[in-house]
A = this chain, B = another copy of it.
Amino acid sequence: MAAKIETRLHVDAHIEAGTTLGLDHAGAHFLRSVLRLKPGAMLAVFNAQDGEWLARIDGIGKGWCSLEVTELRRLPEPEPDLWLVFAPIKRARLDFVAEKAVELGCSLLQPVFTGYTDVSRVNSERLAANAREAAEQCERLSLPLVRDVISFEKLLADWPTERRLLLCAESGGVKPIGEVLQDIRAGDPQAGREPWAIMTGPEGGFTKGELDALTKLPFVTPVGLGPRILRADTAAVSALACWQAVLGDWEKRPPDRSDA
Query: Which A residues fall within an 8 A CB radius of B?
Result: 96, 99-100, 103-105, 137-140, 170-171, 173-174, 176-179, 181-182, 224-231, 234, 237-242, 244-246, 248-255
A241 touching B242 by the CB < 8 A rule? yes
10 A-B pairs with the lowest CB-CB distances in the bound complex, closest first: A178-B245, A238-B241, A226-B250, A227-B252, A138-B228, A176-B250, A241-B241, A242-B245, A139-B229, A138-B229
The CA of A181 and the CA of B137, in the complex, are separated in Å by 28
A176 with B254, Cβ < 8 A, contacts A227-B139, A237-B241 known = no
B234 touching A255 by the CB < 8 A rule? no
A179 touching B251 by the CB < 8 A rule? yes
B241 touching A228 by the CB < 8 A rule? no
> Could you pull out 14 A-B pairs where Cβ atoms are within 8 angstroms?
A103-B228, A104-B230, A105-B226, A171-B254, A176-B250, A176-B251, A177-B245, A178-B250, A226-B244, A226-B253, A227-B249, A227-B254, A237-B237, A237-B238
State how many angstroms separate the Cβ of A47 from the closest Cβ of chain B: 16
In the complex, chain B residues whose CB is within 8 Å of the CB of A178: 245-246, 250
Look across to chain B and name the residue whose beta carbon is closest to the beta carbon of A102: B228
Copies of this protein, total: 2
B241 touching A224 by the CB < 8 A rule? no
The CA of A251 and the CA of B173, in the complex, are separated in Å by 11
Look across to chain B and name the residue whose beta carbon is closest to the beta carbon of A241: B238
In the complex, chain B residues whose CB is within 8 Å of the CB of A238: 104, 237-238, 240-241, 244-245
A250 with B234, Cβ < 8 A, contacts A176-B245, A241-B241 known = no
Look across to chain B and name the residue whose beta carbon is closest to the beta carbon of A100: B234
A234 touching B237 by the CB < 8 A rule? yes
| Other A-B pairs beyond A139-B227, A170-B254, A226-B244, 10, CB < 8 Å | A103-B228, A105-B226, A137-B231, A138-B229, A140-B228, A176-B250, A182-B182, A238-B244, A241-B242, A242-B245
The CA of A69 and the CA of B234, in the complex, are separated in Å by 32
User: Given B100, B174, B245, B254, which contacts A229 in the complex, CB threshold below 8 Å?
Assistant: B254
In the complex, chain B residues whose CB is within 8 Å of the CB of A231: 99, 103, 137-138
The CA of A229 and the CA of B140, in the complex, are separated in Å by 8
State how many angstroms separate the Cβ of A241 from the closest Cβ of chain B: 4
State how many angstroms separate the Cβ of A25 from the closest Cβ of chain B: 27
A249 with B234, Cβ < 8 A, contacts A242-B241, A254-B170 known = no
State how many angstroms separate the Cβ of A252 from the closest Cβ of chain B: 4
The CA of A242 and the CA of B182, in the complex, are separated in Å by 12
